[in-house]
Amino acid sequence: MKKEHFPREIQPHLIPSPQGSYVYECLGCGARHGIEKLLYTCPACKSVLLILDEDWDRLKAMGGDLWRKIFDHRSMLTQPGLRGIYRFHELIGSIIPLESVVYLGEGHTPLVGANERLAKWAGRPFYFKNDGQNPSASFKDRGMASAFSYLNHLIRDHGMKEVLAICASTGDTSAAAALYASYFVEGVTSAVLLPQGKVTPQQLGQPLGSGARVLEIPGVFDDCMKVVEHLSENYPVALMNSKNAWRILGQESYSYEIAQMFDYDVSRLMVAVPIGNAGNITAVLQGFLKLLDLDIIEALPQVLGVQSEHANPVYLYYMEPDPQKRRFEPVHVRASTAQAAMIGNPVSMPRVMSLVEKYRHLGGEEAVQVVQVSEQEIMDSMILANRNGHIACTQGGECLAGFRKAVSEGSVGPQVVGVVDATAHALKFSIFQEKYFNNAFEPEFEVVPRDEYRNAPEVIDTPGHVPSPGGGRRLESGEFQVFVDHAAREVARILGLVKG
């Protein structure tokens, strides 16, 4: 739609120009640092950072009603810079000119309602939000679009040169980083560090396909993370992990899209997300807090963090009801099918602590909950979801299992509707489905497939006297008819079909 066809009051705001005053804010000592340089931890105290718009209050003058109209109408524009997550430009990177936005098709992922059978099983109606329908097939693209758009801005407008983008990954971060880096014609190359043998073949294939240097490190993700942190402190590289606060900004778009999909009435929602390095839950909390602050929503939704029993440091931390007595302890992770969240020492833990406190202050103690689920529950939930029309990965299964658990434990009000994050596409994690169907889980996973959920292909045999095209030989037409008759009869027999 053309600009002149939009309502007059929003025309001046449709196409945003760079604005705002951004700084890194340290969550440890409160110091603020300029954003001209890439910074991942506070130079003064080494704590993690978040990005703050010091001129934020200007946005409050607009009023929630106008903001809602602007965001809704922007979806009818065709500018590439506004097609993805930057529809919410003022909230997630307003200093970045639209010309620097790197858009590869991220964001605006579908919200798909659970059918009656699955909703009944979960105990409440709910939706999956399919973030596996992002370009590299996980939600990580939201944060990468933000981090790479900012890099592009530094390159185009501030003379930054020859950036090596580097990250440690449980698989999806590297797929996303390599994809966005590969779009640059010059100025950016990428290298990714993966825990050897701890990512799926699909996730390994993605950065290779995007042309990134792929380095496999013995150990688990937490070990890789230490190596890239060392690199980012001692070499000129751009760290693309969620320690990079620009990633968090982009991932906030997940909350904005949910609000928009529910016409900004989110008060009865419970938004469930898996927790690994805790960047995602940080962004989701921060996103809804910003919407509330600008009166774009009237009340906060509940947020449910979900962890596996095999990688549960955040769950253990919030188990302790008395905030004074809580002590964060990293855990040693065990084998998890929710491999993308198999992290024992989440980098964003200080962000989570700070935001959960704020969120509970405004939304009540129940506004943020954390549950843990077993590996068995993760797999059963994923398999069952996908037998009911979804495309959930194992982390999506984890999330659904967590929502069902919260419902069964009575901590979910009767009116609540769930929004469950399918953080990646099922195909990325198909090896776990395969292990389930073939009853091939190594004992450390502690998963035993349920017979009624198993599935396997059935082969149509041809006995010796029936000609078969399977051998590579071209059949004569008469032979071929014999084969077709036989195969059709076999298929009909197996499926219990009766001639009509």
Ligand X SMILES: *Cc1c(COP(=O)(O)O)cnc(C)c1O
Q: For Zn ion, which is the closer residue by CB, 354 or 411?
A: 354
Interface region with Zn ion, contact rule CB under 5 A, candidates 46-54, 262-270, 418-426, 488-496: 46-54
Q: In what order do the strands lie in the sheet with 238-239?
A: 213-217, 188-195, 163-168, 238-239
* Cβ 176 to ligand X shortest distance, Å: 8
Helices (H), 417-496: 430-437, 477-495
Question: At a CB cut-off of 8 Å and minimum separation 6, what does 259 contact?
Answer: 266, 288, 291, 296, 297
Work out what residue 393 binds among ligand X, Zn ion, none; the CB cut-off runs from 5 to 8 Å by kind.
ligand X
Distance CA 370, CA 366 (A): 10
Ramachandran category for residue 341: left, alpha or beta (phi over 0 → left; psi -120 to 50 → alpha): alpha
* Cβ 309 to ligand X shortest distance, Å: 16
Work out what residue 187 binds among Zn ion, ligand X, none; the CB cut-off runs from 5 to 8 Å by kind.
none
Contact by Cβ (8 Å): 184, 212: no
* Cβ 425 to ligand X shortest distance, Å: 9
Looking at the chain, the number of H-run helices and the number of E-run strands are 17, 13
Work out what residue 277 binds among ligand X, Zn ion, none; the CB cut-off runs from 5 to 8 Å by kind.
ligand X
Distance CA 199, CA 137 (A): 15
Q: For ligand X, which is the closer residue by CB, 296 or 447?
A: 447
Q: For ligand X, which is the closer residue by CB, 135 or 467?
A: 135
Closest by Cα among 456, 493, 427 to 138: 427
Q: How far is CA 327 from CA 27, 354, 418, 484, in A?
A: 17, 14, 30, 68
* Cβ 393 to ligand X shortest distance, Å: 5
* Cβ 43 to Zn ion shortest distance, Å: 8
Q: Does 494 bind Zn ion (CB under 5 A)?
A: no
Distance CA 362, CA 350 (A): 19
Are β-strands 302-308 and 269-274 bridged in parallel, bridged antiparallel, or unpaired? parallel
* Cβ 351 to Zn ion shortest distance, Å: 13
- Of positions 1, 44, 76, 440, contacts Zn ion by CB under 5 A: 44
Q: For Zn ion, which is the closer residue by CB, 28 or 64?
A: 28
Work out what residue 10 binds among ligand X, Zn ion, none; the CB cut-off runs from 5 to 8 Å by kind.
none
* Cβ 254 to Zn ion shortest distance, Å: 27
Work out what residue 497 binds among ligand X, Zn ion, none; the CB cut-off runs from 5 to 8 Å by kind.
none
Work out what residue 416 binds among ligand X, Zn ion, none; the CB cut-off runs from 5 to 8 Å by kind.
none
* Cβ 42 to Zn ion shortest distance, Å: 3
Helix-strand-coil percent breakdown of the chain, rounded to 5?
A: 45, 15, 40
Quickly list DSSP for 377-423: HHHHHHHHHHTTT--B-HHHHHHHHHHHHHHHTT-S-TT-EEEEEE-
Question: At a CB cut-off of 8 Å and minimum separation 6, what does 318 contact?
Answer: 326, 356, 370
Work out what residue 494 binds among ligand X, Zn ion, none; the CB cut-off runs from 5 to 8 Å by kind.
none
Residues that bind ligand X (CB under 6 A): 138, 140, 172, 242, 274-280, 340-341, 393, 395, 423-424
- Of positions 18, 28, 64, 97, contacts Zn ion by CB under 5 A: 28
Q: For Zn ion, which is the closer residue by CB, 33 or 435?
A: 33
Q: For ligand X, which is the closer residue by CB, 49 or 155?
A: 49
- Of positions 35, 38, 42, 297, contacts Zn ion by CB under 5 A: 42
Question: At a CB cut-off of 8 Å and minimum separation 6, what does 45 contact?
Answer: 26, 28, 29, 31
Q: For ligand X, which is the closer residue by CB, 140 or 486?
A: 140
Distance CA 318, CA 153 (A): 39
Distance CA 424, CA 428 (A): 7
* Cβ 46 to ligand X shortest distance, Å: 20
Q: Count of residues for the chain?
A: 500
Q: For ligand X, which is the closer residue by CB, 312 or 468?
A: 312
Q: Does 29 bind Zn ion (CB under 5 A)?
A: yes
* Cβ 11 to Zn ion shortest distance, Å: 42
Q: Does 25 bind Zn ion (CB under 5 A)?
A: no
- Residues forming the site for Zn ion (CB under 5 A): 26, 28-29, 31, 42, 44-45, 47
